[in-house]
Structure 1
Amino acid sequence: MKRQRTDTSEVWPRMTRRAALLGTVQLGLMGVLGWRMKQLQIDQADQFRLLAEENRVNMRLMPPSRGLIFDRNGVPLATNEPVYRIVMVREAAGDPHEALARLAAVMPLEPEAIQATLDEMERVASFVPVTVKDRVSWDDVARVTANTPALPGITAEVGLSRHYPKGADTAHVVGYVGPISDYDLSQIEDPDPLFQIPKFQYGKTGVEAKLEEQLRGQAGAMRIEVNSVGRVMRELSRDEGAAGADIQLTVDANLQAYVEARMAGESAACVVIDCASGDLLAVGNAPSFDPNLFVRGISVADWTALNENIYRPLAAKAVQGAYPPGSTFKIATGLAALEAGVIDPNETVYCPGYTEVSGTRFHCWKKGGHGNVDYNDSLKYSCDCYYYEVAQRLGIEAMSQMARKLGVGVRHDVPMSAVAEGKAPDPAWKQAQFNDVWRVGDTVNASIGQGYVLATPLQLAVMTARVATGREVTPRLVKTVDGAEQPSGAGGPLGINENSLRRARASMFDVVNSDRGTAFRSRIEAEGMQMAGKTGTSQVRRITAEERARGVSKNEDLPWERRDHALWVNFAPYDNPRIAVAVVVEHGGGGSAVAAPIGRDVTLQALYNGFPPLEAYPAERREEMAQMQVRIRALMDGQPVPVFERA
């Protein structure tokens, strides 16, 4: 059978189109290959020549600039200062023992630093730079730089390190940073890549710890080219990352310094709160410590001295310390009784010096008693027996409910370390805590701020501000974050009858300004500056019947740790409250003798925004206060603070 002849006139166009398409594709591929060969052989020839000579490109994390911390007036409280350091990359240095030996021949290097570097290198990847020595001199930097060919993998760098200009004055508020530890890393669910950087500075306490994420910022990256001996040839690219947020606190650095100086020589705490906004103007703790010691790496001797000091300089007593509030708690007990209607303000209760409850005697602080006292007298004279009677009518639930409404037994949300909750106890709490029933004696004890009741100086300041204003004042420590104003702590109505609050304020005024008030010696004479307050003394030991029979030992005759705590709260001015103050002096003795004078002086300093005129003090105190002001000015100017010693 003959094959049918194909018509070439039909086939030829199809062949031509296919050939053209194939040729186009081939030409395109050849063009791409030619362009890529030109790029590799001509445009990037230098780069690949360096790589051929065993150069490599490294990526290094760049720590961002940590956010700054300021006081309410813009005074720096935490800054960054440039420092020189010597760093080493193990994969570029070779044998680390030999490399460190060569470095030790160039600059002073302690055996401890060598061992610490070797230990650190075991923990991190070989390409991660390890700090061999921090805060080195310019001479050391010059020697290392001059000997770079003999020190592969070892370079001098300039970085930023934290510095606290106000030192001990703001140590407990601002806190401090230190090298991040294995323990720190174990507490973090999703560690930041920055934490790979050895000795990366991480917030340990205070605002530095609580606002770590905002202050830290975001890491940058630097792409660098190094040769076969680790010398940096050039920087290829850089991403600066993002600096941390700047934080402005509500504290006033000058007032804070005054508070610290005024408490020098005591183991104490003082809180000053703005009644209008809830701003914490000062949060003082004594004794204090220099936070810069921790940034630089605290020595064993310094750590031991701080950690073993019985006056606990490392503790932020103003927020961590939970103390029996003593007679300052009578403010809460009295308001609860007025609100519940279990007392008439004009009704009198007889005080013979003790009250018998269920076969047990509960004593008043005044051995002979106060006689007949009404509500106003009960606060003015601080009569215990009055509150023993009130407590039995009132019950613990109403008392504790009022305490919590006033801010006692509530953990306030401030960015400081280990903020305590305190205790406003009730039967359910005791059952859960001790598997025991609540007894009437517990209620009687609680009515005068003893027994299970505990309060921090911060809570006592909040309580006083709420009584002064009738609002639910909430403490605020952070004023702005990167310029953005934070919510005010002014608060809404407290929900307590204004008549009850007026009676409480008037009685607190008489505590200070009546010649029979327990704080009369600490009054303010300046017109329009008068304050209202309440003294408190809380026992830390049980006084036995035998001791009462032979005479109760005076505080000054007891060892320091067995003496009573001295407490004081106040607000001022009385007619237009601007600030509230709380003071606790550990084992200070009587609140009227020790804590109230501190509160008065701090109040005047806050109201006058500086040292007040001597005319603001009672005439009999002016010479004493003139000498006090000279001493405090010297302390605020940086002269050594006396070591705490109490006979």
Structure 2
Amino acid sequence: MKRNNRDSADSARRITRRALLLGGAQLAFGGVLAMRMRYMQVDQADEFRLLAEENRVKVRLLPPARGEMFDRNGAVIAKNEPSYRIVLVPEDAGDVEQVIARLANLIELDPDELAKARKEISQNAPFRPVTLADRVSWEAISRVAVNAPALPGITPEVGLSRQYPLGPDMAHVAGYVGPVSDYDLSKIDAPDQLLLIPRFQIGKVGVEAKLEDSLRGKAGNKQVEVNSAGREMRELNRREGQPGANLQLTIDHRLQNYVQARLGRESAAAVVMDCESGDILCAASAPSFDPNLFVRGISVKDYRDLTENKYRPLANKAVQGLYPPGSTFKMVTVLAALEAGEVTPDETVYCPGHMEISNRRFHCWKRAGHGQVDLLTSLRESCDVYYYDLALRVGIEKISEMARKLGLGERYDIPMSAIARGRAPTKDWKLETYGQDWVVGDTVNASIGQGYVLASPIQLAVMTARMATGRALAPRLVKSIDGVEQPMPSDAELDVNPEHLRLVRRAMYSVSNHRKGTAYGSRIIEDELRLAGKTGTSQVRNITAEERRRGVTRNEDLPWERRDHALFVNFAPYKDPKFAVAVVVEHGGGGSTAAAPIARDITLQALYDGEPPLEAYPKAARSKVKAQQERLRRERREFLKRESDRA
């Protein structure tokens, strides 16, 4: 059937309309496509060029040089030394075990290091580099470089490793670094990418750990061109990292070395503080250890030897150790009584060798008693009964308040690990801690530095410096950072009557320079350098009434762990204090016999800035001191030779 003209016209119009719509759609699509192509080829050209570059260019982090550490005179405490290592990137290696086998034919691989590397490969992402061999020789690096085409994914690298030239002398102060562990990463919310570099070293203890952020620095990077197999072909660009800050500590390494040697095989600690600035010149803890053992991971045997040693060489006793201060605390008690107006210098107390308090007998160290004693005599001869009497008048609150004024019971803001707060107890403290009321016997014990009172050697040094100067000195350990002098802590006037401090200082002088003084045998002969000090002996066991009846067992007849701690604090010179010294010898017996001679020798070493003349010692001690000086010089020479051979 033929279409009429009208139908044909309608059909033609519909076809034309569809064609126009289709053509318009095609034109629009072509326009959008053209615009998109222009956007991608012109506007986003740089971005896509970068994506293409990333297929052949890899970015590697460059660890910065760790800041170095120096003593107050510029001697190196911690430095960096070149270290060669072989690194594997698993995703670039293909067959990892085959590559490792080829490498083992070229250089010797440590089985333990290899086991550690395999573990890291299984746990980490395939793009994370893994160290197969550390501290390899230059010859080994050369062999690997020559055979590079047969070792895909293998890269020889040179880095920096930490080294401690002074060895055990500075171990407890500087601390040490070690490879980043999973435990380290677990403590950080958003770890720096540097920490993911294989075997990257961070501070573990001591200044290394406490000032890690300053010492670490900031990473750099390098861009390297790689081929289709992932082999590095050439370096395209390099941006060096920002090295860590260099630190200068207040420690005098020569004095520190002498003190470590003088403490010898004792389990002991000693602190020397500058009475003018508060600078810590020495913070020694014995026995010590070699921090270099920890830098690349200490062996199981070496670590067991340290942890199973009853003298606890890993503990920094100078700041971590807490001890009953014994009779060194008597200056605190007498100052509290003087400030409270409860005693006068001339007032006497009768000491028959004990005091009955609340149906309990509190003994003096001198069984026969001291008779009538005043303030000066009580400190000079260390009469306990005199302080029992003061304690009953003054009370624990005022005694502990004075202790805190003098720096006890305070955690100092210095970059060392596990600094102990110590304890200046109060009634509320005992109730909160033990749920028990404070009793009068607690106050009596505290008055002679026993019972709940605890102090560290550094706190005792601060206490002594404050009494010597009348200023609220605080310790400082960092002298400068990148050459910028660090501010000294506040040293406002101590809130104690200066006349009362003079009385105590005069009594301390008598302790060391009067024939009846408990430290007379450890005096300094040179008039202008005479020291003022106080002995202390703190019990670590309970002496029963039965033992007292039959006679108290001598320290030397007891097992080492049950002997008394020996303490001595002093400042010198008496007329113009320059140094404050505190010595604690764990289970050393008596303060006058074990701690005082060490403190006297340390004080002389500081005063003379080196080995003192024999004429500075009492005549009776000179032959012993001469032999001791010769032994220490010999040990120092042997140490320096060992360090030289190792380097």
Query: What's the TM-score once normalised by structure 2's chain length?
Result: 0.91
The residue that corresponds to 1:452 in the other structure is 452
* CA displacement at 1:208 relative to structure 2: 0.2
1:278 touches 1:490 (CA, 8 Å); kept in 2?
no
Amino acid across the alignment from 1:322: L
Matches within 5 A, 1:116-265: 116-265=116-265
C-alpha distance in structure 2 between counterparts of 1:637 and 1:432, whole Å: 54
Matching residue of 1:537: 537
1:186 counterpart letter in structure 2 = S
CA–CA distance in 1 between the matches of 2:123 and 2:208?
Answer: 26
Moved more, 66-75 or 133-142: 133-142
Inter-partner Cα distance in structure 1 for 2:66 and 2:60: 18
Relative to structure 1, the CA distance from residue 415 to residue 592 in structure 2 (aligned partners, 3 Å threshold; closer, same or farther) is same
CA positional deviation for 1:636:
2.4
Please give the alpha-carbon distance, in whole angstroms, between the structure 2 residues aligned to 1:91 and 1:252. 50
Contact 1:100 1:114 (8 Å CA) reproduced: no
For residue 199 of structure 2, give the secondary structure of its aligned residue in structure 1: coil
Provide the rounded CA distance (Å) in 2 between the counterparts of 1:288 and 1:640: 17
Distance in 2 separating the partners of 1:568 and 1:200: 43
Partner of 1:296: 296
- In 1, distance between residues paired with 2:91 and 2:345? 81
SS in structure 2 of the partner of residue 236 of structure 1: strand
Is 1:528 matched up with 2:538? Answer: no
Moved over 3 A (4+): 638-641
Contact 2:110 2:133 in 1 (8 A): no
Query: Equivalents in 1 of 2:606, 2:65: separation in Å?
Result: 34
Aligned to 1:443: 443
What is the rounded CA distance, in whole Å, between the counterparts of 2:370 and 2:504 in structure 1?
A: 20
Which residue is equivalent to 1:572?
A: 572
Contact 1:565 1:590 in 2 (8 A): yes
Distance in 2 separating the partners of 1:349 and 1:537 = 22
Partner of 2:115: 115
How far apart are 1:639 and its partner, in Å?
A: 3.9
Deviations 1:602-633 (A, max 9, x none): 00000110001111111111111111111111
Equivalent position SS for 1:214: helix
Question: Identity percentage over the alignment?
Answer: 61
Residue correspondence of structure 1 range 38-437 to structure 2 within 5 A: 56-437=56-437
CA–CA separation in structure 1 for the residues paired with 2:84 and 2:606: 41
Matched with 1:644 is none
Q: What does residue 505 of structure 1 align with? A: 505
Deviation at 1:455, TM superposition (A): 0.1
Unaligned runs of 5+ in 2: 1-34, 642-647
**Alignment partners' CA distance in 1, 2:589 and 2:490:** 34
Instruction: Tell me the CA shift for residue 138 of structure 1.
Output: 1.6
Tell me the amino acid that sits aligned with residue 286 of structure 2: A
Q: TM-score, normalised by structure 1?
A: 0.91
Q: Name the CA distance, whole Å, in 2 between partners of 1:575 and 1:110.
A: 62
Paired residue secondary structure (1:141): helix
Contact 1:270-1:582 at 8 Å conserved across structures: yes
Structure 1 stretch 305-314 or stretch 179-188: which is displaced more?
179-188
Please list every run of 5 or more consecutive structure 1 residues that lacks an aligned counterpart in the other structure.
Answer: 1-28, 642-647
State the distance in 1 between where 2:620 and 2:505 align: 26
Which residues of 2 match residues 482-521 of structure 1 at below 5 A?
Answer: 482-489=482-489, 491-521=491-521
RMSD over aligned Cα atoms: 2.3
Q: State the secondary structure of the residue aligned to 2:319.
A: helix
One-letter amino acid of the structure 1 residue matched with residue 66 of structure 2: R
Deviation of 1:142 (Å): 1.8
Native 8 Å contact 1:120 1:198 kept in 2: no
CA distance in 2, matches of 1:379, 1:257: 32
Q: Which amino acid is 2:621 matched to?
A: R
Q: Measure the CA separation in 1 of the matches of 2:483 and 2:377.
A: 49
**What SS does structure 1 have at the residue aligned with 2:272?**
strand
- For the residues of structure 2 that align with 1:541 and 1:640, how far apart are their CA atoms? 41
Give me the whole-angstrom Cα distance separating, in 2, the residues matched to 1:395 and 1:108.
Answer: 71
Q: CA separation in 1, counterparts of 2:293 and 2:481?
A: 27
CA positional deviation for 1:488: 1.0
Moved more, 451-460 or 337-346: 337-346
Point out the more displaced range, 260-269 or 480-489: 480-489
Partner of 2:465: 465
Q: Deviations over 1:106-159 (max 9, x none)?
A: 211133222211111233322222111111112211221122111111121110
Asked whether the equivalents of residues 179 and 296 of structure 2 are also in contact (C-alpha less than 8 Å), the reply is: no
Paired with 1:331 and 1:76, the residues of 2 have a C-alpha distance of: 39
**1:220/1:242 contact within 8 Å kept:** yes
| Secondary structure at 2:79 match in 1 | strand
